Chain A
């Protein structure tokens, strides 16, 4: 191998790692270039949603299931951290972990019965779950603060260092997001990930290949709930205030839209989907006012023309074209 071939080989072999490193470097330098707190606030929100969407994409895109209820797990994380730190003065880091464990248990208890359902029935069941959770947030006001929300949530801190300004939050939240990204990328490149992809393709075939389909679905559901819970905790500590609006069914469908835009089973696409849907209202006031219409419209258009999702759909078309062209070249 020549030097150039060696370099190319190294790049192909480690392309995922290199992409992750490149993105990390970019994020490391970003606050030096862009120090507008408003902009950083938005990119931080993108990072928080990315964590939820990465988990949800494993469940929807990889395991081939559907959930219209992940705003509930996101909300459980947020309210869990809020209540634990304010009412019980638990250390925020510890609270984050305890809440994630509790959310995992809740997801397990809910997941075992409802993941026997599939398709529309599963969509309805998860939607119902989100409705119930949102109603509890609104009605149980002595604990949740009701419709007016829950305020006074402390910032996260290490020793004396507090994560309260946008720049420090940027590093904190993106660290979590990059870890979520790395875990997801690792998972889908493993045998477990291929088992999930098989599950999304065809359950009978997956079982015939040795995938414990029922078990695998529940596991991914729990995993995605844990991701959502951590994102929720970060959300609560970032804004020091949470209200039920952030966790209603529209929030839940927005998360699904982010997955669909990014593409079913596309890990990198998840970041793109989270970014696009978070940024849209910032770009145009029109989107702000008619947000739900616009999001609904995007969802319908993407599902009609690229049912695998925007990014994945385009990549699939590219791969097919490339393969066919290479065959033509080989024949010529």
Chain B
């Protein structure tokens, strides 16, 4: 579904990614792992149009999306969450989720100012869908809260609700359980499992190995901007290169 071919990114001559190629198959969960500074976030940003790769191509459903700006990539059906939450703190929880449906709200400013009946009708439909999404993440009782005052775990769930409300074809999750305690991690993990069984294709960037091993169908390992291994969680776990990049370094710093 999503295909990266020889993607490279240099920041002022420093290579952050070099010749990364892999594929995210439809309906499966692909996990992207790697030590800090391996280039995971750069890779996500190159995929979503926030950054342009220096070299290589990114294609989504056989369509080349390498040079597209971020909002057009989003409109093709790729939704994402952010490593450091990017909720809109002053909007209510419901409105935050509704922003996930921006592409479907109609984009004509003039029409919006006149608030014609068909727009009102559409608005009601969008609200219903947003409430359903909040229900799925058991947040409906906080729908009219300003998002800024929620607890961290709740914010993470609002972000997941916002990213999934439009039923995107591909979901990019940048460290969904970072900063959560064990209980909250289990909760988000449960939600990710539900999303997977609902048939969502996901690319998951994650440090939490237990979670990755449990829900990923395929694991891609990045180290210093290079893709050093691809395979099932079992294969990757036994791969000596991965062990060296991960555990070796961890032992060295420990």
Contact = CB atoms under 8 A, between A and B. Distances in A.
Contacts of A189: 115, 123
A213 interface: yes
Interface stretch (B5-13, B56-64, B74-82): B74-82
A200 B101 CA distance: 17
A56 interface: no
Contacts of B98: 191, 194
A194 B102 contact: yes
A295 interface: no
Contacts of A3: none
B89 interface: yes
Contacts of B95: 194, 197
B105 A191 contact: yes
B215 interface: no
B253 to A, nearest CB: 31
A205 B82 contact: yes
Interface stretch (A135-143, A275-283, A319-327): A319-327
Given A192-B105, A223-B109, A213 B71 contact: yes
B235 to A, nearest CB: 32
Interface string B179-203: 0000000000000000000000000
A200 B87 CA distance: 11
Interface residues on A, range: 35 or more
Contacts of B75: 210
A216 to B, nearest CB: 9
Contact of B108 (A192, A202, A207, A220): A192
Contacts of A319: 145-146
Interface string B104-115: 111111001111
Contacts of A149: none
A148 interface: no
- Select the residue from A195, A265, A320 with max chain B CB neighbours within 10 A: A195
Contact of B91 (A197, A213, A330): A197
A193 B112 contact: yes
B19 to A, nearest CB: 26
B76 to A, nearest CB: 9
Given A186-B112, A195-B105, A204-B50, A211 B91 contact: no
B88 interface: yes
A314 B125 CA distance: 31
Given A197-B88, A207-B74, A324-B149, A190 B115 contact: yes
A129 B216 CA distance: 55
Contacts of B109: 187, 192, 219-220, 223
B70 interface: yes
| A-side interface mostly | helix
A67 B107 CA distance: 24
A189 B119 CA distance: 10
Contacts of B121: none
Interface residues of B, number: 44
A209 interface: yes
A186 B89 CA distance: 22
B201 to A, nearest CB: 17
A319 to B, nearest CB: 6
B158 to A, nearest CB: 12
B37 interface: no
Interface string A158-198: 00000000000000000000000001101101111111011
Contact of B112 (A190, A197, A320, A330): A190
Contacts of B106: 190-192
Contacts of B80: 208
B69 interface: yes
B173 to A, nearest CB: 12
B105 A201 contact: no
A308 B86 CA distance: 18
B110 to A, nearest CB: 9
Nearest to B159: A205
A316 interface: yes
Contacts of A91: none
Given A201-B89, A207-B71, A323-B145, A190 B48 contact: no
Contacts of B18: none
Contact of B74 (A193, A208, A330): A208
Given A186-B115, A189-B115, A195 B102 contact: yes
Nearest to A202: B86
A124 B1 CA distance: 46
B146 A209 contact: no
A211 B88 CA distance: 14
B86 A205 contact: yes
Contacts of A316: 90, 146
Contacts of A194: 91, 95, 98-99, 102, 105
13 contacts: A187-B109, A190-B105, A191-B106, A195-B102, A197-B90, A197-B95, A200-B88, A209-B100, A210-B74, A210-B102, A211-B71, A220-B109, A323-B142
Given A202-B86, A208-B74, A220-B109, 8 more contacts: A194-B91, A195-B107, A198-B102, A207-B71, A209-B74, A209-B79, A265-B90, A308-B90
Pick the 8 closest A-B CB pairs, nearest first.
Answer: A191-B105, A201-B88, A190-B112, A207-B70, A205-B86, A186-B115, A210-B74, A210-B103
Interface of A: 183-184, 186-187, 189-195, 197-198, 200-202, 204-213, 219-220, 223, 265, 308, 316, 319-320, 323-324, 330
